[in-house]
């Protein structure tokens, strides 16, 4: 049961944008997807001009070239946000979005993006279709959340399973390294070969959690490998938090910038990492995760609301794209994390 402060905060969320209202009703109030208020919020969300603008952007999938994965207005980040708010292939316009993202696949079943790695970074310096562990898993995770597993007409089940199996095979005992497709030449991120890449590991953890959620436990393909991958990836990220003062693989620090709360989930930052770890079976009460979450929830203002401490300028038109007033979407994300971890 919510106390008065939480109730006031939730009431404030329900006065917000339709995607905030939709997720609040589902994730904080545990209302049924079939309830009239939830369906009304989803209809409003789909029709919202801001959401339609994101969906319309996918007409540029064939021409977009990724030159830096941290660029906040990349289509793969739009895809992630559309999945985070809860859109599926059953919603108007989403099949068109999914078809664009699936237009180029490697023989192994890996989703490819238009990309150009400069020669001085070990790449070919030319535009090509390829994949890296900081793009393809992000796209795949979003597509899984849309329900791609149930649409073999869009991606055959055998090819989907093959792609996930291949990506799992790239992992090691300490996480996922930077391993790119052959089209990208000899590119490798700025880390030691034996180190895990924190961002690649985070994205692979999201894929494995989403893939596992699609199946009954007894029917999960490669169940042991998936469960082992979830344990490996979550332990890697939790271990990096515990050793954040001394371990910075691939120059991914967990310092001041990492600890600023922000949205949406584009890069390797504290709320993104904690949100994913909070969905890992058996990790809910891990002291390292609770310490991370504690740092987050303590940022609340006296009204229990959260103001972005860092922003992506490409999302300046959204309520989480400024640092002056509380953001409903950011507040929702923190409250959902606190609920998952049973933090008062």
- Full DSSP string of 289-324: HHHHHHHHHTT--TTS----SS--GGGTTSTTS-SS
**What are the contacts of 184-188 at 24+ separation with CB within 8 A?**
184/115, 184/117, 184/123, 184/124, 184/128, 184/130, 184/132, 185/117, 185/119, 185/122, 185/123, 185/124, 186/122, 186/123, 187/117, 187/121, 187/122, 187/123, 187/132, 188/122
Helix axes 49-56, 36-47, angle to 10 degrees: 60
> For the ranges 34-38, 113-117, 189-193, 339-343, which has the lowest average pLDDT?
189-193
What's this model's pTM, rounded to 2 decimal places? 0.95
pLDDT at 4: 56
Query: For residues 133 and 130, what is the distance between their CA atoms, to the nearest angstrom?
Result: 11
CA-based end-to-end distance of the chain: 11
Q: Is the pLDDT of residue 189 over 90?
A: no
Q: How many residues does the chain have?
A: 344
Mean pLDDT of 104-122: 88
| Beta-sheet pairing, 128-130 with 113-115 | antiparallel
Q: Hey, how many other C-beta atoms are within 10 angstroms of the C-beta on 150?
A: 12
Residue 53 CB contacts under 8 Å (≥ 6 apart), including other chains: none
Mean pLDDT of 222-247: 96
Match 């796209």 to its residue by tokens. Answer: 139
pLDDT at 5: 55
Query: For residues 63 and 113, what is the distance between their CA atoms, to the nearest angstrom?
Result: 10
Extents of the domains making up the chain:
1-47
Cβ 175 vs Cβ 196: under 8 Å: yes
Q: Is the pLDDT of residue 344 over 80?
A: no
Which two tokens mark 24?
A: 């609040």
Find residue 114's DSSP bridge partners: 129
pLDDT at 233: 98
pLDDT at 125: 83
Give the model's confidence band at 188: pLDDT under 50 very low, under 70 low, under 90 confident, else very high: confident
């Amino acid at each position: 049961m919510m106390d008065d402060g939480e109730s006031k905060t939730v009431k404030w969320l329900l006065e917000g944008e339709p995607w905030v209202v939709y997720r609040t009703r589902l994730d904080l109030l545990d209302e049924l997807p079939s309830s009239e208020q939830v369906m009304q919020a989803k209809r409003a969300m789909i029709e919202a001009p801001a959401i339609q603008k994101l969906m319309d952007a996918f007409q540029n999938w064939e021409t977009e070239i990724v030159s830096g994965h941290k660029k906040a207005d990349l289509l793969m980040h739009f895809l992630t946000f559309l999945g985070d708010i809860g859109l599926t292939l059953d919603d108007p316009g989403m099949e068109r979005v999914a078809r664009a993202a699936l237009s180029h696949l490697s023989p192994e079943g890996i989703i490819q993006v238009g990309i150009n790695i400069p020669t001085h970074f070990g790449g070919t310096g030319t535009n090509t279709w390829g994949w890296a562990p900081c793009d393809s898993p992000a796209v795949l995770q979003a597509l899984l959340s849309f329900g791609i597993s149930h649409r073999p007409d869009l991606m055959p089940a055998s090819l989907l399973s093959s792609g996930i199996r291949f990506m799992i095979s790239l992992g090691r005992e300490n996480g996922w390294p930077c391993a790119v497709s052959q089209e990208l030449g000899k590119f490798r991120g700025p880390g030691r070969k034996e180190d895990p890449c924190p961002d690649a590991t985070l994205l692979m953890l999201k894929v494995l959690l989403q893939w596992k959620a699609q199946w009954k436990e007894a029917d999960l393909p490669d169940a042991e490998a998936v469960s082992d991958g979830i344990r490996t990836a979550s332990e890697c990220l939790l271990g990096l938090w515990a050793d954040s003062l001394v371990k910075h693989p691939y120059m991914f620090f967990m310092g001041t910038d990492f600890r600023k709360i922000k949205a949406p989930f584009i890069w390797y930052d504290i709320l993104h990492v904690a949100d994913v770890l909070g969905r890992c079976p058996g990790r809910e009460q891990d002291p390292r995760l609770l310490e991370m979450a504690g740092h987050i929830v303590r940022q609340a203002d006296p009204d229990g609301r959260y103001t972005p401490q860092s922003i992506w300028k490409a999302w300046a038109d959204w309520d989480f794209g400024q640092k002056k007033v509380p953001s409903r979407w950011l507040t929702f994300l923190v409250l959902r994390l606190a609920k998952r971890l049973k933090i008062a």
